[in-house]
Each structure stands twice: as C-alpha cells, then as structure tokens.
Amino acid sequence: MRDIEWLEPLIEPEPSQALKQYARQNLGVASSTLGFFASCPWVMRGMIDLLSTKRVHIDHDLTDLVALMVSRDNSCRYCYAASRMILRLLGMSEERIRRLEQDLEMAQLDARTKLALDFAARISRSNPSPTQADKKALLESGYSEGAILELAFSAAEHTYHNRISTFPALPPQLPERMANSRFLGLLRPILAIPFRRMRKKGQAEFLSDELKAGPYAYLVLALDGLPAARTLRKILDEAWASPHLSARAKALTFAVVARGLGSSHAEHEAFSLLAAEGLGKQKVEEILAHLGSPELDPGEAAMLPYARETIWYEPAAVQRRGREVQERLTTPQFLELIGIASLANMVCRLAILLDEP
C-alpha cells in the first residue's frame, strides 16, 4: 500500500475546536486530520458518526475485515493504515495482522466469512453489483436480514471513509508509522480504551416520525430498526442543509453517481429532488448524457465530470483532477463537493440492494 502514488494534501488544515470536541464526545479521541475539513465540518462529523454507529447483528471481527478489504480495494493508504493501527491497539500482533492480510489475499477464510466478504466486496466495487441471489446465499448460510443490511452498510460506509481521505490526499504518514511502530504496544492500554467502547454491541432503534422524511428517505427507512438508519438520516440532512453548494448541485452529483453505478432507485430519487429544484426529466437526461449543459453554472460544469470520476479511480489521478476542479471553487465548496460525492457513492452503492424486487 505504501507504494501507491499519493500527492501532497490539496488543502491546508485549520484549527477546529468544535470538531475536536465532537470527536472526543463521540469517539473518545480526536484525529489530527479533523482540521482539513474545518470550513465544511459536516463531512468530518459524518465520518465520526459512522465510526461511532453501533452494530446489532454482526461482530467487529467481521467489520475489521471489511474495513481492511474495502480500503485495500479503493487503494486508500490513509484508511488502510488507520485500520491496521486500530487492530494493533486492540491487541493484535503485527504477525497476526499480516496473516490476516494474507488470508484476505489468498481467500484462506472459512466459507461463511468468505461469503460475507465477497458480498461486501461487491457492494464496494459495484462491478458487478450484488444481486438478490447474493443475499439469498447469505441467508442460507445463517446470516439474518438485519445482519445482511449491517454488512452492506459497513461496506458502503468504508467507501465514504476512503473517499474523504483519498480525494483531498489526507497525509497517511502518521497512521502508517504508528501502525508499524514497535512502541505502539506501550501506549495500547490507554489508547485502546475508546476503541473498545466503540466496539460494544448496540440495540435495535426505530426512527421517530420526523426522521422518516428527507432526501433518500426510502433508503433510511429500509434500515429502520438499526442504529445505522439514524446515522444515515443525520448525515443526509446535514449535507443538504450545508450552504456551500446548492441543493441542485448536490442532487446532480447524486444523479451522476447513481447513473454511473446503475442504481435505478437512487437515480429516481435524484430526479425527484431535481424536479423540486426546477429541472425536468428531459433536461436532467441531457445533463447526464453529456455531463454538461448550458443549464449548468460554471461550478456545476466543473463538478459533474469530477463526480463521475469518483465512482472508480486511481488515487493520484483523482487527486490531480481535484486540483483542477479546486481552481473553479472556493475551499468550502470544494470540500463540500468531496463530501457530497463521497456520500453519493456510499448511498448509491447501498441503494443497489433495493433495485431488485
């Protein structure tokens, strides 16, 4: 992973006491990367909320494997190193982590775990996307409906983490050094405490009526009963409420990603959101066909081709493309674009599960 080309950060970090406090309240620790999103804080709050979301049906040994696999698939040096560092803090030896990585590489896992990871990989890669047949195989192997939803959510969640780390080129050197440090064991008793708290199992939660509406409500409702539903609703609401990009630009970004991934439900929702912003179906089809239109303002014209590139990418290439787009936007707008594109990739991959009856 260290051989993957990775540019210098595209943005400069700024102090953010509010984000540090939010991270400490929800995770128990505050990352040094928080300040990179100081001018568009919902993006980093979303990451914190996702990391602190409890699981009800699946255990953290499986989600650890999902995190490693998805970060490797997306070539995210930052997230991959951070995942290894957390495993070290939780007491796993370097030898055991390397053996785990080899198991992932060689598929030397028990059949049930391998089936789950294959499903998670199809969520992450979406090429091809998972089908109802994949869900049926998981059910037959003993996973419940709730466990399958949480497995899909975990895989989609890490596509969000990977993108908000990769697109602005967050510096991976610190977690890489810590993950491989022989001295990490000395700090483990203190540093591991918040991570162990996060790994406790959660309980079923159901949405109140006011949380059953808003962008992509149908997907949030599909998760109802899981803590993940409340988390997703909160992130979507904060993303749409943020002032740096228009609601139209956000819905167009979702439409581009949904069309690229072939997610019919997610695309239909984006069309509905755009109709509310005054863009009819014919105009949206024209925009999606050409990733451009006289209807678009200069910022939108720069955003949409970039949004298409965020679906599948090479880190250095998408980082260079980001520098070009960055010249057309303010820093808060660029950070919001990164957040919206990352959220769209997460939501649209998760929504594919609902595309088949």
Average pLDDT, integer, range 245-250: 98
User: What is the predicted pLDDT for the residue at 61?
Assistant: 81
Of the candidate ranges 30-34, 164-168, 190-194, 348-352, the one whose mean pLDDT is the lowest: 190-194
Q: What mean pLDDT comes out for the span 66-76?
A: 90
Q: Is the pLDDT of residue 64 over 80?
A: yes
What's the pLDDT at 224?
97
Same fold, 17-198 and 210-354: yes
Give the model's pLDDT for residue 300: 96
Identify which of 329, 333, 43 has the alpha carbon closest to the alpha carbon of residue 170: 43
Mention every residue, 6+ apart, whose C-beta is less than 8 A from residue 153. Answer: 223, 226, 228, 232, 350
Task: Map out the domains of the chain as residue ranges.
Answer: 17-198, 210-354
Binning pLDDT at 50, 70 and 90, where does residue 154 land?
very high
Higher-confidence residue: 322 or 105? 322
d(C-alpha 334, C-alpha 322), whole Å: 8
CATH architecture of the domain covering 17-198: Up-down Bundle (1.20)
pLDDT in tens, 198-241: 667 889 999 999 999 999 999 999 999 999 999 999 999 999 99
Residue 20 pLDDT grade (very low, low, confident, very high; cuts 50, 70, 90): very high
pTM of the predicted protein model? 0.93
Class for the domain spanning 210-354: mainly alpha
Cα angle 18, 299, 322 (rounded to 5 degrees) comes to: 65
